[in-house]
């Protein structure tokens, strides 16, 4: 199981990089997660997750063009690698298997 182990936040970030495709850079990823999940994301946590997943081989990055708006600093764009895609597929398969294993009666319970 450890081969493709992703934490929840890592999975969300990886999925969001896929959603944004060629436009996945720090601020865009942060805004997309916050918009879709209605959840605040700290820049530090996001940058740590991106670096960690790049080290694991789940993501690649490239530098964009520098511009004056960013004080001459280029954006770093992220893309999912083949290994990252496998990690996402593995995660999806595990979740699907678990969902399929839940007895229907367990899902019929109502919240009080």
Checking phi first, is residue 4 left (phi over 0); if not, alpha (psi -120 to 50) or beta? alpha
Given the candidates 3.40.50.300, 1.10.1060.10, 3.40.50.1820, 1.10.10.10, the CATH classification of the domain at 2-107 is 1.10.10.10
Phi, psi of 102 (to 5 degrees): -75, 125
Q: Residues 32-61: pLDDT tens digits?
A: 999 999 999 999 999 999 999 999 999 999
Q: Does residue 9 contact residue 96 with C-beta atoms inside 8 Å?
A: no
Flag whether pLDDT at 86 surpasses 90: yes
DSSP 42: -
Domain spans, the chain = 2-107
DSSP 25: B
Q: How far is CA 62 from CA 22, 48, 71, 98, 108, in A?
A: 10, 17, 18, 36, 48
Q: What pLDDT is stored for residue 64 in this prediction?
A: 86
d(CA 83, CA 99): 24
Dihedral angle, C-alpha 61, 62, 66, 67, nearest 10 °: -60
Across the strands, what pairs with 62?
77
Q: What's the pTM?
A: 0.86
d(CA 95, CA 92): 5
Percentage of the chain beyond pLDDT 70 is 95
């Amino acid at each position: 199981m450890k081969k493709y182990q992703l934490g929840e936040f890592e999975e969300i970030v990886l999925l969001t990089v896929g959603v944004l495709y060629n436009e996945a850079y720090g601020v865009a990823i942060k805004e997309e997660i916050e918009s879709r999940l209605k959840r605040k994301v700290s820049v530090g946590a996001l940058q740590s997750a991106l670096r960690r997943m790049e080290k694991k081989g789940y993501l690649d990055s490239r530098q964009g063009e520098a511009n004056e708006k960013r004080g001459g600093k280029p954006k770093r764009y992220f893309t999912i690698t083949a290994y990252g895609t496998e990690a996402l597929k593995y995660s999806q398969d595990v979740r699907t298997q678990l969902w399929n294993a839940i007895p229907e009666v367990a899902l019929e319970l109502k919240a009080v």
